[in-house]
Amino acid sequence: MSGFPTTADGLTRLGAGMLPGVLGLEFTNVTPGLVEARVALDQRHLAPNGYLHAATVVAIADTACGYGCMASLPDGGEGFTTIELKANFLGTQTEGSIACRATLVHGGRTTQIWDAIVSDEASDRTLALFRCTQLVLRRDTGRTNR
């Protein structure tokens, strides 16, 4: 994707004013096939029951994987769309910060598969395992899928 940021600060700025910015996602590392991010937790990240909202966990993992996909598009790739995601929740927390480490598992011509681990930043205790599949978008070549 042309013009896509390739630095952690650039990724953090990319989400400003959108869901990643609203949730306070901060990117700490970006290299080919790897994106790391964190969120300092506060009231907006919790569910009404007082525990970490599942959507907060999915948002950090999905955003890290999506930004990683954009930074790792193959030649001819113009963008992506998520075609499947799955999260397994193993724990929760109510304060401190959470971290996410997203890694490229498969970087094909038409799809990418990313895994992410969301953890308590202080203790490194795993809170969730996440996997998503991204469809690489390309410019129309005049062919149809009929």
Alpha carbon distance 90, 26 (integer Å)? 23
- Where in the chain are the domains? 8-138
Say if CB 128 and CB 83 are below 8 A apart: no
Q: Using DSSP bridges, classify how beta strands 34-40 and 26-31 pair: parallel, antiparallel or unpaired.
A: antiparallel
Alpha carbon distance 35, 116 (integer Å)? 9
Beta bridge partners of 104: 114
Q: Which residue has the tokens 């203790």?
A: 123
Strand spans (E) along 11-110 = 26-31, 34-40, 77-89, 97-107
Pick the CATH number of 8-138 from 3.40.50.11810, 3.10.129.10, 3.40.640.10, 3.30.830.10: 3.10.129.10
What's the pLDDT band for 6 if we cut at 50, 70, 90?
Answer: confident
90-128 tens-digit pLDDT: 999 999 999 999 999 999 999 999 999 999 999 999 999
**pTM for the full predicted model:** 0.92
